[in-house]
Chains A and B, each alone.
Chain A
Amino acid sequence: MENKTEILRGTLDLMVLQALEAMGPLHGYGIAQRIEQISGESLKMNQGTVYLCLVRLLQKRWIKAEWGTSENNRKARFYSISKAGQKQLIEETENWQRVSGTIGRLLRLNETR
């Protein structure tokens, strides 16, 4: 992949929103963990990248953040999805499915030729 981060920017937003929607409030580590679990080896990234995505989502008010205490008794910031974020997630999911469906059909078309 030529420019991994460029692709990551859009998809990572979607993945973080999805993780928060599915799991409820999570801290940065939890989100990174969840994304790694789901994507496996196909999306190798530094876990720190998640924080760049989180600040962007916070600024857009798609997620909220609150300081709390983690399971190992450390100060941690817990993120949760907002109403606007849920709306965005639905929109983006539809968008993503439409695009990937189109690309998929296009690629299959080329295969059968």
Chain B
Amino acid sequence: MFSSFHRTLARIRAVFHSNDLDRDLVLELESHIQILVEQHIRKGASREEAQRLARIELGGIAQLREAHREVRALPLPDAVLQDIRFAFRMLRKSPGFTTVAVFTLALGIGANTAIFSLLHASLWSPLPVSDPKEIFHLMRSSSEGDFAGESSYSYPLFQQFSKTAAPFGEVFATEVVGPRKFGLNGVSDQRIAGEAVSDNFFSVLNVGPIVGRVLEPQDDNVLGGNHVAVLSYAFWKRRFQSNASVLGRRILYDETPYKSSASPGPDSPGSIRRCQ
């Protein structure tokens, strides 16, 4: 129905032009009264009597202006409040419907929030490294063969990548390690997920330590690497209460003794797999 659409538009506009519209109405009503007065005078009434009769015929001007404002503009806040109260009364009247409606809304909003916070964390918020746009994740593009779509490579291939890429940038390797045994003094007492990285991991990402040091080229000078571990800030804080005395101690990880090193900054990347 176009007419009700036009009317709503006009009512919204009227809110902003209230004074003009009110002045128009007063002008109209005045000339209306004038005509009525002249008529009554012509019929033989005195001026006062004519004015009195005209007022009666037209109706109270103050009430008319008030009613006119209500018709032409949006409902007053009072009426809106009444509507809200009415809505709540109706909701209370049918608890079944209300429960289902509220539950549906809650589920919808919750699901959206969850998805968007996930996307925010994984896609939209920049990685806490110096130049996140410059990081690329190498992946096989072929859709056939044993390694289709894979992003794992042999160590010799990684070394070749590094050599080939040298003029443009650096290549670092990383591999997520699932939860493994962890402990001090050769005794494991909990399982911790880790990541095996090449020596240039921290230097390429430009992430430094809070205490101690991160990996250096001499940590990676034998095949398989020297067993040096860098603790994440969160883990260092949780397990060792941010105590620097853990530096240099022997730890057990995945049944292999490591020498603990330092923890990188508080917002160090959890896993470089997040980048493209």
Residues of chain A at the chain B interface (Cβ within 8 Å): 27-29, 32, 46-49, 51-52, 55-56, 58-62, 70, 72, 74-77, 84, 88
CB pair B71 A47 closer than 8 Å: no
A32-B27 Cα distance, complex, nearest whole Å:
16
Return B136 CB to nearest CB of chain A, in Å.
60
A21 vs B2: C-alpha distance when bound (angstroms)? 21
Q: Which residues of B contact A28 (CB under 8 A)?
A: 28, 32
Report yes or no: B71 in contact with A52, Cβ–Cβ below 8 A. yes
**What CA separation (Å) do A52 and B58 show in the bound complex?**
12
Stretch among B6-14, B110-118, B186-194, B226-234 lining the A interface: B6-14
Q: Is the CB of A84 within 8 A of B59?
A: no
Using Cβ atoms and an 8 Å threshold, which residues of chain B touch A74? Answer: 31, 34-35
- Do the beta carbons of A62 and B3 come within 8 Å of each other? yes
Chain A nearest CB, measured from B38 CB (Å): 7
Residue in chain A with minimal CB distance to B69: A55
* Cross-chain contact A59 with B68 (CB below 8 angstroms): no
Known: A75-B27, A77-B28. A48 touches B34 (CB 8 A): no
Interface of B is mostly: helix
For B59, what are the chain A residues with a Cβ–Cβ distance below 8 Å?
Answer: 46-49
Q: Which 9 A-B pairs have the closest CB atoms?
A: A46-B59, A59-B10, A60-B3, A48-B59, A59-B7, A48-B64, A74-B31, A55-B72, A48-B58
Known pairs A47-B58, A48-B64, A52-B64; A59 contacts B32 (CB<8 A): no
Which of A46, A55, A58, A70 contacts B58 (CB under 8 A)? A46
- A55/B57 in contact, CB under 8 A: no
* 1/0 contact string of B20-34 vs chain A (CB within 8 Å): 000011011101101
- A60-B3, A60-B6 are known contacts. Are A51 and B31 too (CB-CB below 8 A)? no
Asked, given contacts A59-B6, A60-B6, A88-B3, whether A76 binds B31 with beta carbons under 8 Å apart, the answer is yes
Within 8 A of A (CB), among B57-111: 57-61, 64, 67-68, 71-72
- Closest A residue to B57 by beta carbon equals A47
Q: Are B7 and A51 neighbours in the complex by a CB distance under 8 Å?
A: no
Q: CA separation between A16 and B196, bound complex, in Å?
A: 86
B218: CB under 8 A from chain A? no
Residue of B nearest to A53 (CB): B71
Instruction: Choose among B14, B29, B38 the residue that contacts A72 (Cβ–Cβ < 8 A).
Output: B38
Can you sample 13 A-B contacts with CB below 8 Å? A46-B59, A48-B58, A48-B61, A52-B64, A56-B7, A59-B7, A60-B6, A60-B7, A74-B34, A74-B35, A75-B27, A77-B27, A84-B3
Instruction: Please give the distance in Å from A9's CB to the nearest CB on chain B.
Output: 10
Q: Nearest A residue to B61 by beta-carbon distance?
A: A48
**Contact status A51-B35, CB under 8 Å:** no
Enumerate chain B residues within 8 angstroms of A61, measured Cβ to Cβ. Answer: 2-3, 6
B29 contact set on A, CB distance < 8 A: 48, 51
Q: Is B154 an interface residue when CB atoms closer than 8 A count as contact?
A: no
**Additional pairs, 6, CB under 8 Å, beyond known A55-B71, A59-B14:** A47-B57, A48-B32, A51-B29, A52-B64, A61-B6, A88-B3
* Chain B positions 27 through 65: 1 when the CB is less than 8 Å from some CB of chain A, otherwise 0: 111011011101000000000000000000111110010
Given A29-B36, A59-B7, the answer on whether A52 and B67 have CB atoms closer than 8 Å is yes
